[in-house]
Amino acid sequence: MATKTTDVKSTITLQLNGKDYDFDQIAKDSVAAAQNVKKDVKTVNVYVNAADAAAYYTVDGAGSADYKIVL
């Protein structure tokens, strides 16, 4: 007997110090910012630093103090 499967949707929201942080939105914002740095970017890695209330990202493995999104 075949069973029907459905896709399960999930989100992650970090609640910290009275603020909500949506990881999907942080990822989208980081990709958009990286594309402003390099139009043909292939890889964006994001590092959320709660103490700084910022997300830092790399553009194809290269980082910079300027590659930062204030949360």
Q: What are 16-60's pLDDT values in tens digits?
A: 888 899 999 999 999 999 999 999 999 999 999 988 889 999 999
* Nearest one of 46, 51, 48 to 63, comparing CA atoms: 46
Q: What is residue 6's predicted lDDT score, i.e. its pLDDT?
A: 83
Q: Assign 1 a pLDDT band (cuts: 50, 70, 90).
A: low
Q: What are phi and psi of 27, to 5 degrees?
A: -65, -45
The pTM assigned to this predicted structure is: 0.79
Q: Assign 2 a pLDDT band (cuts: 50, 70, 90).
A: low
Q: Cα–Cα distances in Å, from 6 out to 2, 3, 16, 32? A: 13, 10, 32, 31
One-letter amino acid of 10 = S
Q: What is residue 54's predicted lDDT score, i.e. its pLDDT?
A: 93
